[in-house]
Amino acid sequence: MSSLSLTFFATTAPRVLVPSSSSNPKLSPSSYSFSATTARWHSTAVSFRSGARRTSATCPCASFSSFNVRAMAKMVQDRESAVSSSSASDEQNKKMLNIEVNHSRTFLDVRSEQDLLSGIGREVEAGRLPSNLATGMEELYHNYKNAVFQSGNSRADEIVLSNMAVAFDRVLLDIEEPFTFSSYHKSMREPFDYYMFGQNYIRPLVDFRSSYVGNVSLFFEMEEKLNQGHNIVLISNHQTEADPAIIALLLESTNPHVAENLTYIAGDRVITDPLCKPFSMGRNLICVYSKKHMLDVPELIEMKRKSNTRSLKEMALLLRGGSQIIWIAPSGGRDRPDPVTGEWYPAPFDTSSIDNMRRLAEHSGIPGHIYPLALLCHDIMPPPPQVEREVGEKRVISFHGAGLSVAPEISFPDIITASKNPEEAKEVYTQAFYNSVTEQYNVLKSAIHGQQGLKASIPSVSLSQPWG
């Protein structure tokens, strides 16, 4: 089987907050306030799951209780005791808990912005944090702060301090004990809930009043098929490091199963960049080397190809088990604006990527359905103007509306019957997906950038704001 020319999905920075009904309406339908206690224990409290999921069923917000020092210490002790008596299958959780308990608490002891930023300096002086990463962390802090303040939330300073404290704590933890991703990575929800960590970091960057979902009924259709054991593949454009979190945020009020169970085809950069890794740890990933970076280091080409072969085998095994929903961006990277006009549009799709996914789905022996998905969110965290070889890009961040839309599945048999030969059918099939994604993208663009809102809907793309 030919190698996949897949995208790299990217994660973004983290955050933690408590909904507040008195927040600025620009944040509708969700807004946030800082817990009564300091960021020190507020941020730690969300690190350990106490059992029930924290996802709201009615709005894109998550509520977290806070702990004082004594309660937090007892919780860690209880968790440690429970894990010590667990079975061998929980060995990973036990290992992670031991790491959590023993690592530096520098960023969980902060009470102010000064504490947070001086903590970076102390970790550099102690030799635990590389100076270049420290510079990137400071830059990320200020960019994130400016973006959250754009929302007009009266508690923006507390939100920023809380979320960045957790973000920096996770980055430092991975520097101390580097996490290695396997070809198939399962979202880590315990003892630290990395999924909610990523969700809560991106949440205050999304202006839900100017955000939309297209054809939400099709997501319910997908859930029904997943419940029947079928597989779903989403052929999508890719815009930002925050794509997975934004997709989940826009779906969590109506389709939490889809939001939490999506598996993303992820490039190597999001599992190696220190500022990305903690967010990647919260997603289900099939890890691959992107075609765009395959040749960056010639002596690593063969290793990358072998790794991608292993990832293909992992994906095949997943699909054979059924009830999988997989996201892939066949452009092989993020969309970028036209260098002349500055206009954004979905990057062209690679035919071999789509054909490989189609064949994997067909050969699984499980019914499969492939849908075109459009995503518009580049304003929140746009990529660099050009593809960069080096890891560690500058993160520009803004508060903005976002859009997600899906169209009916596209059947390859319907395409091939009207084509002259198989190769032509593959090209036509790819173009059908690209045309659908582009059409949906333009509707989202009219709704968000053109400020047409729900009136931007067309017969094939019905927009809604399902969070109310």
List pLDDT tens digits, range 331-385.
988 989 998 999 999 999 999 999 999 999 999 999 999 999 999 999 999 987 6
What is the average pLDDT across 172-182? 93
User: Mean pLDDT over all residues of the chain?
Assistant: 81
CA atoms within a 13 Å half-sphere pointing along the CA-CB vector of 152: 10
Residue 158 has pLDDT above 80, yes or no: yes
Q: Does residue 35 have a pLDDT over 50?
A: no
User: In this structure, which amino acid lies at residue 51?
Assistant: G
Q: Which long-range contacts (CB under 8 A, 24 or more apart) does 315-318 make?
A: 315/184, 315/286, 315/360, 316/360, 316/363, 316/364, 318/184, 318/263, 318/286
Distance CA 468, CA 451 (A): 18
- Token code pair at residue 390: 């080096």
More confident residue, 421 or 201: 201
Q: Given this model, what pLDDT does residue 373 score?
A: 98
Q: How far apart are CA 78 and CA 81, in angstroms?
A: 5
Contact 353, 332 (CB under 8 A): yes
Mean pLDDT along residues 447-458: 98
How much is the average pLDDT of 31-50? Answer: 33
Average pLDDT over residues 296-315: 78
Average of per-residue pLDDT across 399-415: 96
As beta bridge partners, residue 334 has none
Contact 169, 253 (CB under 8 A): no
pLDDT of the residue at 303: 74
Least confident piece of the model among 10-19, 70-79, 202-211, 214-223: 10-19
Structural contact between residues 65 and 45, judged by C-beta atoms closer than 8 angstroms: yes
User: Who contacts 12 (Cβ-Cβ below 8 Å, separation ≥6)?
Assistant: 198, 201, 202, 240, 241, 242, 245, 276, 279, 381, 395, 397
Mean pLDDT of 415-420: 80
Position 443 pLDDT exceeds 80: yes
- Supply the pLDDT for residue 45: 34
What integer pLDDT is reported at residue 295 of this predicted model?
59
How much is the average pLDDT of 411-430? 88
Task: Give the lowest-confidence range in 243-257, 388-402, 439-453.
Answer: 388-402
**Overall average pLDDT of the 47-68 stretch:** 36
pLDDT given for residue 302 in this prediction: 79
Averaged pLDDT for residues 191-216: 97
Q: Could you tell me what percent of the chain has a pLDDT over 70?
A: 77
Q: Which residues contact 21 (CB under 8 A, 6 or more apart)?
A: 31
- Residue 41, both tokens: 């224990």
150, pLDDT greater than 90: yes
| Banded model confidence at residue 27, pLDDT cuts 50, 70, 90 | very low
Structure tokens of 165?
A: 């404290």
What number is the average pLDDT over the span 257-285? 92
Q: pLDDT band for position 33 (50/70/90)?
A: very low
Region 56-80: what's the mean pLDDT?
A: 37
Q: Is the peptide bond before 191 cis (omega within 30 degrees of 0)?
A: yes
Angle formed by the axes of helices 351-363 and 301-321, to 10°? 40
Domains and CATH numbers, the chain: 102-178 (1.10.1200.50), 180-464 (3.40.1130.10)
Look at residue 391 in the predicted model and tell me its pLDDT: 53
Q: What is the pLDDT of residues 94-136, one digit of tens each?
A: 777 777 777 888 998 899 999 999 999 999 999 999 999 999 9
Output the pLDDT for position 199: 97
Q: Give the mean pLDDT of 42-52.
A: 35
